[in-house]
């Protein structure tokens, strides 16, 4: 059946290693012959994508007579992944610790007319017999168990040797050159994948920075109201002196205020936010309307899409896909040049500062101790990654490379045992930073759709019902007039 799969894949122009066959929804055992599968004449087979995760196959190796007496029943058994080649199986079996076998590098002397030629040693190649098929060449032995149809269960391999006219040293050189070339191809493919992942991560980071800058510009310019203009109506234009400099706009002054950075210890930019002045969150103080709790059509469609997506079965990631994701994450971390760290203190005051890729956990502790008043008191910095984790006070642990810090990180400041109670009650930031603290701005939440667009589900359905009823009434009136005109003729009171 592997021949059937190979012929089908050649016809469709795909790789046979990525596909398998199914009959009536059940997988076909590719290791069997056509007669052993029980398929009827004219059976329709399905070509489906095979699983990328290798399965386990139990393999028994039947040894030739020269080695059969060394092991019980003349067989060696072991389990291999289905993506293992026949050559690697032989290599694994010949490296058995209990025995000293030589399956892949055997040499024999040439005999001519009963005399042994000592100067020439020729290669004796292994020949593998599997499911009534022989694999003798080095290229044929590079086929995997999955390519031969063994994706599960057990398989029996019979081994024998065949003499060749190739010198042993030449054969060894060809084998070494093949695996060296294969390793170079794998290394080149790995470097290419890492370079593509790094380029993708860098482009994503640039897009994120561009989007963030655009959001800042939009938030600044959005506060400036634009006076309405009437198109088609010409108004009086006030003439100004060209030599008079224009007055700075509110947007320009705001952008200049944003550019002014507050510098912390080590001339590092720092943003300082004061603790909340009330126990009630500012979001809870915003006025709420009844329409805010009515779902719109956008919400309904989004909810239906989520229900539809959650009802579909999702395939688990294969080992290759998980490895690719890990490489992409590593490349993204390697491409990151800076991380923004937000530190939240016990009194809910926060500071935000950037840190470079080469800075360590010890640098973060030194920076925080220079910001707070009681820098000599014991404290620790924790964050929620896979559970609560503590930033190590180590000058070798890099924040991005080792601790996996992302673009924005939230770190919590926690006092350790033995701290002075007076330090816990006093303001935590130094006076020069405390006086520059500002309140956290609360953004104005705008509705997704304007109220006049009729986006509410109830209003839309009611309006649609009224339109349908009006159309039905109109059709009924036209039909009654038509019937009256046809059955009784035109009215005498009204002209035709």
Q: Which of 17-26, 114-123, 143-152, 351-360 has the lowest mean pLDDT?
A: 114-123
CB 170 within 8 A of CB 105: no
pLDDT score, position 211:
59
Length, in residues, of the chain: 496
Q: Cα(154)–Cα(60) distance, rounded to whole angstroms?
A: 8
Residue 222 lies in a domain: no
Give yes or no: residues 370 and 267 share one domain. yes
pLDDT score, position 387:
82
Q: Cα(12)–Cα(364) distance, rounded to whole angstroms?
A: 58
Give yes or no: residues 486 and 352 share one domain. no
Residue 405 lies in a domain: yes
CB 36 within 8 A of CB 9: no
CATH code, 150:
3.10.20.90
Pairing outcome for strands 56-62 and 46-49: unpaired
pLDDT band, very low/low/confident/very high, at 435 (cuts 50, 70, 90) = confident
Counted domains in the chain: 4
Could you give the count of Cα atoms lying within 13 Å of 493 in the half-sphere of its Cβ? 0
Give yes or no: residues 275 and 331 share one domain. yes
- State which residues form the domain around 342: 261-281+324-434
Give yes or no: residues 350 and 474 share one domain. no
Give yes or no: residues 265 and 362 share one domain. yes
Distances from the Cα of 357 to the Cα of 371, 399, 410, 411, angstroms: 21, 7, 17, 17
Residue 446 lies in a domain: no
Distances from the Cα of 393 to the Cα of 292, 357, 381, 382, angstroms: 48, 16, 9, 12
Residue 25 has pLDDT above 60, yes or no: yes
Give yes or no: residues 40 and 71 share one domain. no
Query: Percent of the chain scored above 70 by pLDDT?
Result: 75
Residue 489 lies in a domain: yes
pLDDT score, position 352:
93
pLDDT score, position 114:
54
End-of-domain residue from the set 146, 180, 214: 180
Q: Cα(251)–Cα(222) distance, rounded to whole angstroms?
A: 9
Give yes or no: residues 368 and 412 share one domain. yes
Give yes or no: residues 386 and 469 share one domain. no
Q: Cα(276)–Cα(193) distance, rounded to whole angstroms?
A: 48
Give yes or no: residues 277 and 169 share one domain. no
Q: Cα(61)–Cα(159) distance, rounded to whole angstroms?
A: 7
pLDDT in tens, 386-431: 788 899 988 888 898 888 888 889 999 999 888 888 888 888 898 8
Pairing outcome for strands 338-344 and 269-273: unpaired
Mean pLDDT of 193-218: 65
pLDDT band, very low/low/confident/very high, at 477 (cuts 50, 70, 90) = low
Give yes or no: residues 341 and 487 share one domain. no
Residue 197 lies in a domain: no
Q: Cα(368)–Cα(420) distance, rounded to whole angstroms?
A: 17
End-of-domain residue from the set 114, 149, 180: 180
Distances from the Cα of 255 to the Cα of 144, 215, 238, 442, 458, angstroms: 64, 13, 28, 18, 43
pLDDT in tens, 287-315: 777 877 888 888 899 999 999 888 888 88
Give yes or no: residues 63 and 174 share one domain. yes
Give yes or no: residues 430 and 465 share one domain. no
Tell me the average pLDDT of the chain.
Answer: 75
Residue 231 lies in a domain: no
Residue 163 lies in a domain: yes
Residue 150 lies in a domain: yes
End-of-domain residue from the set 180, 215, 232: 180
Q: CB neighbours (10 Å) of residue 122? A: 19
389-397: Cβ within 8 A, 24+ apart: 391/361, 391/364, 391/365, 392/361, 393/361, 393/362, 393/365, 394/360, 394/361, 394/362, 395/360, 395/361, 395/362, 395/363, 396/360, 397/360, 397/361
Tell me the whole-structure pTM to 2 decimals. Answer: 0.42
């Amino acid at each position: 059946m592997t021949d059937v799969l190979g012929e089908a894949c050649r016809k469709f122009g795909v790789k046979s290693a990525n596909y398998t066959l199914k009959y009536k929804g059940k997988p076909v055992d590719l290791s069997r012959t056509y007669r052993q599968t029980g398929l009827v004449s004219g059976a329709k087979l399905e070509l489906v994508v095979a699983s990328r995760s290798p399965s386990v196959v139990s393999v028994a190796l039947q040894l030739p007579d020269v080695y059969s007496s060394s092991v019980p029943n003349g067989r060696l058994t072991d389990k291999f992944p289905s993506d293992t080649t026949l050559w690697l199986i032989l290599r694994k079996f010949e490296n058995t610790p209990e025995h000293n076998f030589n399956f892949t590098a055997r040499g024999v002397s040439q005999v001519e007319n009963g005399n042994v030629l000592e100067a020439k040693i020729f290669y004796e190649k292994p020949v593998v017999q599997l499911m009534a098929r022989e694999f003798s060449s080095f290229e044929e032995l590079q086929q995997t168990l999955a390519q031969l149809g063994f994706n599960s269960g057990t398989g029996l391999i019979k081994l024998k040797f065949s003499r060749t006219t190739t010198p042993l040293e030449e054969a060894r050189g060809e084998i070494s050159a093949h695996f060296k070339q294969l390793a170079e191809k794998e290394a080149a493919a790995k470097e290419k994948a890492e370079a593509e992942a790094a380029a993708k991560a860098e482009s994503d980071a640039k897009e994120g920075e561009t989007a963030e800058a655009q959001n800042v510009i939009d938030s600044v310019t959005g506060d400036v109201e634009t006076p309405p203009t009437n198109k088609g109506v010409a108004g009086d234009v006030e003439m100004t002196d060209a030599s008079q400099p224009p007055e700075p706009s509110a947007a320009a002054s705001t952008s200049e205020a944003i550019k002014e950075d507050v510098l912390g210890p080590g001339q590092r930019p720092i943003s300082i936010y004061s603790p909340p002045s009330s126990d009630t969150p500012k979001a809870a103080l915003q006025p709420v309307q009844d329409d805010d709790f009515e779902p719109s059509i956008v919400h309904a469609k989004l909810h239906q899409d989520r229900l539809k997506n959650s009802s579909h079965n999702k395939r688990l990631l294969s080992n290759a896909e998980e490895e690719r994701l890990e490489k992409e994450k590593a490349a993204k971390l390697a491409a990151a040049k800076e991380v923004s760290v937000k530190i939240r203190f016990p009194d809910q005051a926060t500071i935000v500062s950037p840190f470079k890729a080469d800075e360590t956990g010890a640098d973060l502790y030194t920076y925080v101790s220079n910001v707070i008043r009681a820098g000599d008191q014991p404290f620790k910095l924790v964050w929620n990654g896979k559970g609560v984790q503590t930033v190590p006070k180590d000058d070798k642990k890099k924040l991005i490379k080792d601790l996996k810090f992302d673009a924005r990180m939230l770190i919590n400041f926690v006092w350790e045992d033995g701290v002075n109670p007076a330090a816990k009650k006093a303001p935590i930031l130094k006076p020069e930073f405390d006086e520059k603290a500002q309140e956290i701005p609360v953004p104005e939440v705008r509705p997704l759709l304007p109220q006049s667009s009729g986006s509410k589900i109830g209003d839309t359905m009611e309006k649609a019902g009224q339109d349908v009823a009006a159309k039905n009434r109109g059709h009924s009136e036209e039909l009654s007039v038509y019937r009256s005109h046809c059955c009784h003729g035109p009215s005498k009171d009204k002209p035709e």
